[in-house]
Structure formats: structure tokens, C-alpha cells
Structure 1
Amino acid sequence: MSTLEELRALLQAVVEAIDLPHPNTMGDADAYRDLLDRRAGLAVILARAALDEEPDAYGWHAAYLRRKIAEYPVTYRAHEKPEAGR
């Protein structure tokens, strides 16, 4: 994988970490914010670490971030968009 592809993978992993579905109710908002804070923190740590290392390590950082965010799945009720025509 090229450095550009690895950088793209890292950016995609950061988006996956912080692009969470909106909570369905106000009661789910705290869980949403807690999860977003935890995942955003992981993303920042990994992005900073990637910037401190050689560019050929971007792929490793992307894979590691994905493994870490998998440990923090969405557990609240997510808002679902209505289907078209409804």
C-alpha cells in the first residue's frame, strides 16, 4: 500500500471513529456524547502518533484505530432516517 493510500486509510478510520449516528431520544444523548468523546480522544491520540512517526506507519495507525473503536460500539438507540416516500 502506498503512503497516500495509507494516509487515506487513516483519515477514513478517523471519520469512522467520530461519525456516529445521532441519538434517537434526548435520553440517549449522554451515551452519544460519552461515546463521541472516547472515540474522538482515540482518534486524536492516533493521529498525533502518526504525525510523529514515519509516513509508512499510517496504515498501522489506521488499523489500530479501527481495532480500538471496535471496542466502543454504538450502544444507544440511533435515530433512523425515514425511507423516501414515507
Structure 2
Amino acid sequence: MSAGQNGAAARDSRGRLAPATASTDPLRDLAKAVLEALDIPHAATFGDDKVREPIMTERVMHARIALEGVLERGDDPGWSADFLRARLAEHPADGYRHVGEAAPPSCGRCRTPFDSTDQSFDGAARSGATPWCRSCVDNCHEGSAEHVCVICDPARYGGDAR
């Protein structure tokens, strides 16, 4: 692959444009930086989206600033790409669960994630080796004489008999 005499882009043996690197094409580098800003994983849940939303807003704002600098003020695209990547480092896409990411272990009844630090009698810690949190077990044991639920009678609800 080689560039033509008149400054034409380099092409491979099939005539396709050769991939440009950041050092040879600052506009392509800026486009990659914008893609990095916008291409963050979707949130796994509505609650996770509440964390993702302000992160995405900040990243979009900085991408727009970098693009406006190049298009409206004539800023150097290479400098704008570096500027954008520095801003993205300040707003990493973390702190929320992503789609496809494994959910933390949670209670089989209320689906609350287990919290081993909450050891109160009605807390969110796992109750022994059961799939239930301490709060659900506590609520089950406070039931009336006719009370039946998935915790005290799992066979009735299609669960494992304990």
C-alpha cells in the first residue's frame, strides 16, 4: 500500500482505502474519540439507567464541544481528540450494571440483592444457606397459623423442599 504521487489516500490490493491511523488522519482520530464517548454500555435496569444518564450527558456535551471547536472555530482535530479523551477520562462509564452483566446474588422471594453487612434480624443479608434474605424469613415466621409461602412451603410453590 502506498499513497499516490498527488497525495491520494493509500489503497490496498483490492482498491479499498487503507485504514488511517491517528498520526496520519486527525479527523479520523477525532471521529474515533467521539465514538468512544457515545458507545457506552446500556444500563441493565431502570435504576442503573439513573446512574448512566448523567454520565452519558457529560460525555455527549464534551463530544459536542470538541466537534464544534473543529467545525466552527477551526480547532486542530488532533488537539480536539486529545481534549475529548481527557474529558472522557474524567467521566468513566462505570458505577452501574451493564446489559449482559451478571446480576448480584439476590433473595429468591423479594429479589433484593444480598448485603452481607446488614446482619440485623430483618436485614438484607442471606439467611444462612437459604436463597432468602433475613427480612423475608423474618416476615414468613411472623405469619399466622394458616400462613403459607414459598419460604415455609417451597414444594407447594414449585421450589425445592427443604
Of residues 47, 55, 58, the one that matches 1:27 is 47
How much is the aligned-residue C-alpha RMSD, in angstroms? 1.7
Whole-Å separation in 1 of the counterparts to 2:52 and 2:101 = 17
Residues 8-19 of structure 1: pairs in structure 2 closer than 5 A:
8-19=28-39
Task: Count residues with an aligned counterpart.
Answer: 78
**TM-score, L = length of structure 2:** 0.45
Of residues 40, 50, 63, the one that matches 2:60 is 40
SS at match of 2:36: helix
1:28-47 deviation line (CA, Å, top 9, x unaligned): 01111111111000100111
| Corresponding letter in the other structure for 2:98 | A
SS at match of 1:13: helix
Whole-Å separation in 2 of the counterparts to 1:39 and 1:12 = 14
CA-CA distance at 1:81 after TM superposition: 6.9
Residues 1-86 of structure 1: pairs in structure 2 closer than 5 A:
1-2=23-24, 5-51=25-71, 52-53=73-74, 57-74=76-93, 75-80=95-100
Q: Displaced runs of 4+ in structure 1, greater than 3 A? A: none
Structure 1 residue ranges without an equivalent (≥5): none
Whole-Å separation in 2 of the counterparts to 1:61 and 1:37 = 19
Whole-Å separation in 2 of the counterparts to 1:81 and 1:8 = 31
Whole-Å separation in 1 of the counterparts to 2:51 and 2:34 = 19
Identity of aligned residues (%): 35
More helix by share: 1
**TM-score, L = length of structure 1:** 0.81
Structure ID, larger Rg: 2
Structure 2 residue ranges without an equivalent (≥5): 1-22, 103-162
**Larger RCO: Structure 1 or Structure 2 (Cα < 8 Å, ≥ 6 residues apart)?**
1
Whole-Å separation in 1 of the counterparts to 2:99 and 2:59 = 19
Aligned to 2:133: none
